[in-house]
Amino acid sequence: MSTDTLIKVEDVLAEHFSQVVEQAERKVLIDFYAPWCAPCKMLTPVVEQIAQEHADIKVIKINADNSQELMAKFGIRGIPTLLLMNSGQLVATQVGAASFSQVKKFVQQ
């Protein structure tokens, strides 16, 4: 598999959130996770598959342990939490592990 066909899920630091997410002119799927979180680990391959199949959506991960201010900004109390943003505006939130079909439906909002 060549690297030009593999779409990577980018790990974004809180200080780059505005630049990467709020200034994006397309949909952005954000996965708030923690490395120690078992449901987050179950969601990782789902999020990666969404990135592969939806090149029109930017998919990023944010480590919740390092992003308390973003967690507070969006009222996130549990992880994993997915946020769907479009042109910098919050469109939808989904909390908890989900199947590929559930996340696929979520990003089509």
Task: List, by residue number, the catalytic residues.
Answer: 37, 40
Residue 20 in tokens: 């990467």
Q: Which residues are CB-neighbours of 82 under 8 A, at least 6 positions away?
A: 29, 30, 31, 32, 43, 47, 93, 94, 95, 98, 103, 106
For helices 100-107 and 38-53, the axis angle rounded to 10 degrees is 60
Helical spans, DSSP H, in the chain? 17, 38-53, 68-73, 100-107
